[in-house]
Structure 1
Amino acid sequence: MAKGRSQDDMPPPDNWREVFLEHLAQTSNVSGAARAAKIKPGTIYRARRNDPEFAQAWFEALCEGYDLLELDLLRRLRMGDNDSPTAKRKRKYDNATSFRLLSAHRATVSQMRADQQQLSEDEVIASINDKLDRMRERMRAAEEEAPPVLPAPTDSSNDDEHEPGEQT
């Protein structure tokens, strides 16, 4: 860096868009992706406003990031927090924040996916119904494979204890 010039005075790197989008897809974090691309957030937001192709790529990166977040969250919920046994420090996951983030942006991501696929309302509803049917089939199959749950045995040897109104 030239003496007397701050990083803010330096021109942005030529590949800042690619770096930004890659980090955004990995993290779903605009500020973190801006730091990785060595560019001011204001520049990034201005580019999104003025460049429809960049705006589209931004939303695609966010969709990918939310997919990764959802998959990572599902893996942690199913299998636990599996950090490497050789890790010096156990990574702490904030599942509640992950859920809130996914919930807060679910509508935006869903709308973006629908726009990308250009599906009609009827096609979206049919797709949802199909997914629900598959989920129900998996639940039925799991119930059929599960052993029956028997009621707990009752102690009928003590005839002195009766429920009110019960005949002996």
Structure 2
Amino acid sequence: MTARAKKRSGRSGNPRWRKTFLETLAETSNVKASAEKAKIGPSTAYRLRRENADFARAWLGALWEGYVHLEMEVLRRLRDGDLQTDDRDKYDFANAIRLLNAHRENAVRAEAEQRNVSAAEIRASIDRKVEDIRMRVKQEKQRGKSA
């Protein structure tokens, strides 16, 4: 085994980076940022996910948590009328909804695994939530036009 291969296998076998990686993944839903924070390469995380079922489940759980965070952030902003970012730009609800839809299947699988319910039930629940968000965005736009 080469020195590089030993270093790689030792790194993916070392559980210390995993906690940081998974916590950051739950916060950001961003593999590259999570790997940087854990001081590993993204390929190390992807390799371990392929090779370790427990890590793969934890990864899905972190993505589900990130999905829920985004969903709750969008709903909070709509409820509170918080339509601008911290730097005063308009919050991009359309992009947030696109992200929610793009990661829907991973969220469905992860939540079904966490709650031990069928993926179809979770999918229906997520569809209802995304549709609710769409309707709220539409209502906010209509209010803004009439104001």
Please indicate, yes or no, whether the TM-score normalized by the shorter chain is above 0.5.
yes
Aligned CA-pair RMSD? 3.4
- Looking at structure 2, the residues matched to 118 and 80 of structure 1 have their Cα atoms a distance apart, in angstroms, of 35
Match of 1:69 in 2: 70
DSSP 3-state at the match of 1:39: coil
Q: Which has the larger radius of gyration?
A: 1
Match of 1:104 in 2: 102
Which amino acid in the other structure matches residue 102 of structure 2? Answer: A
93 and 32 in structure 1: CA distance in 2 versus 1, 3 angstrom threshold: farther
Does residue 116 (structure 1) correspond to residue 114 (structure 2)? The answer is yes
> 1:40-79 alignment to 2 at 5 Å?
40-79=41-80
Listed as ranges, the gaps of 5+ residues in structure 1 are 1-8, 136-168
Q: Deviations over 1:12-41 (max 9, x none)?
A: 586211000000111111111111111100
83 and 100 in structure 1: CA distance in 2 versus 1, 3 angstrom threshold: closer
Which amino acid in the other structure matches residue 67 of structure 2? Answer: Y
- Looking at structure 1, the residues matched to 119 and 18 of structure 2 have their Cα atoms a distance apart, in angstroms, of 34
- Looking at structure 2, the residues matched to 22 and 91 of structure 1 have their Cα atoms a distance apart, in angstroms, of 28
Which amino acid in the other structure matches residue 118 of structure 1? Answer: N
- Looking at structure 2, the residues matched to 14 and 114 of structure 1 have their Cα atoms a distance apart, in angstroms, of 26
- Looking at structure 1, the residues matched to 94 and 104 of structure 2 have their Cα atoms a distance apart, in angstroms, of 15
- Looking at structure 1, the residues matched to 41 and 101 of structure 2 have their Cα atoms a distance apart, in angstroms, of 28
Match of 1:148 in 2: none
How far off its partner does 1:92 sit? 5.8
Does residue 21 (structure 1) correspond to residue 19 (structure 2)? The answer is no
Instruction: From the two aligned structures, give the one with the greater helix fraction.
Output: 2
Greater relative contact order (Cα < 8 A, sep 6+): 2
Which amino acid in the other structure matches residue 112 of structure 1? Answer: A
Which amino acid in the other structure matches residue 101 of structure 2? Answer: S
DSSP 3-state at the match of 1:93: coil
Question: TM-score, normalization: structure 2?
Answer: 0.65
Listed as ranges, the gaps of 5+ residues in structure 2 are 1-6, 133-147
How far off its partner does 1:108 sit? 2.4
- Looking at structure 2, the residues matched to 23 and 44 of structure 1 have their Cα atoms a distance apart, in angstroms, of 13
